[in-house]
Amino acid sequence: MLLFQSIAQERDPLNVLFIAVDDLRPELGAYGKAYAITPHMDRLASQSSLFTNHYVTVPTCGASRYSLLVGKLPQSRQDLSNMAVVNQLARKPESERRKTFIQDFREKGYYTVGIGKISHHPDGYVYEYDQPKSDLIELPGSWDEMLFNPGKWETGHNAFFGYADGSNRTDRNKQVKPYEMAEVSDDGYADGLSAQLAITKLQELKAKDQPFFLGVGFFKPHLPFTAPKKYWDLYDPEEIPLAPFPAIPQGSSRASLIQSGEFNQYALGEEKAGLDQAVSEDYARKLRHAYLASVSYVDAQIGKVLDELERLGLAENTVIVLWGDHGWHLGDQLVWGKHTLFESALRSVLMIKAPGIPAAKIKQVVSTLDIYPTLLDLTGNADDSDLDGKSLVGLIKNSQSENWRNTAYSYFNQGISLRTPTHRLTQYFRSESQEFELYDLIQDPNETQNIASYSPQVFGVLKALLDAGNTGLFEDQ
């Protein structure tokens, strides 16, 4: 640690490149999914601390990002909403809102630039789907510049749900498919435009005599699963595996799952998803193909940004974070979507590349809450905020360290979920049966059977840990 500190003190202040990817489950080559064609993220992973058991706090976009930004466990039900950032930051006076880590860096002398979806709204401004862009910024006090190129779609919302012909889900009244394969260049979808904008901005930031924080938020693989045809062509559909467990877990409750409402909004999809039966294998394979094509597309955009960082000579003095805002069920437990307290929705991508620190694969359980203090620690900045997470620098420097919390808490669907290295215990505050669900993730990694009633000793130990993460969200149920 002393060596690392001395190196940090000798060099110029470290920059930060923070890349957020929407709905990115660990479906990458670097996470052992050999069928996923993700060479650029895999290359970054090979140079990074790759966290194989990273869990988000809330399995929905806005709330997950709010928790990331402020480094706090959810304190109210507003914190579980997609509008958490809007209600808790954008619409609150400065004296009542928490500081984001971006604002923290800005106050510490960094020049901060955001591109695309870092908070919840696709371009960082608050307005409705069918309205013109407003001037209400979603993260007041955080950005020196908040940028987005909506291209032919004209607004961020339209681009987020956009199709290659310039239309979008809203103006087509949801009469659209949940996927698209188009003969277009990378700039034919919005993430290609965001990559180009990030490249231009990096060139400008290099010329500034000031450390920078650059946040780049990519849309894919969020629905609709859209990508240029060349990314679809990377895959042989017959080699794409289907969900290992498309069923309701034994001893679980339907109330613990969802009816895939977000997915089913795409009215021209060939089949609807639900808990009564799985979609056909052919359709499931097509959807998984579409998801993977979207992942490969965004992988290529990330590669362009990383290549430019290298070309400009900035990589050796920049901390790089790649983060997925939550996972996504691809037919697992009969669900197509997020919004559950199961592994598929809560486990997501996290890799951190820091100058002077060797790459490592880290298996300990970590939380999105840990990112805020980690970034401050890696850049040599003081942590003067009241945060619920802990710096990961100890793990980054010694991936075998036993002096680590090894728990992560998540909240949604009237429930609190605890992840440990071996189990997931979830308590639901609801009238339906099965208040507790316990899964042995060593023996049963696909969460096929709730063993809460069969493992009283394990349950007792984990229940005490779960209680420590109960912030009182559901106590009036």
Q: Which residues are catalytic?
A: 61, 120
The C-alpha atoms of residue 344 and residue 338 are separated, in whole angstroms, by 8
User: Tokens for 386?
Assistant: 């009241």
Strands (E), 26-110: 49-51, 54-55
Question: Whole-angstrom Cα distance, residue 345 to residue 335?
Answer: 10
Residue 147: strand pairing partners: 115
Answer for the pair 374, 352: CB distance below 8 angstroms, yes or no.
yes
- Residue pair 291/35 in contact (Cβ under 8 Å)? The answer is no
- Long-range Cβ pairs for the range 426-434 (8 Å, 24+): 426/256, 426/341, 427/463, 427/466, 428/253, 428/255, 428/256, 429/474, 429/475, 429/477, 430/255, 430/477, 432/253, 432/254, 432/255, 433/253, 434/251, 434/252, 434/253, 434/255, 434/256
Task: Note whether 328 and 218 are within 8 A (CB).
Answer: no
CB atoms within 10 A of CB 398: 14
Instruction: Summarize the chain as % helix, strand, coil (round to 5).
Output: 35, 20, 50
Helix/strand/coil for 108: coil
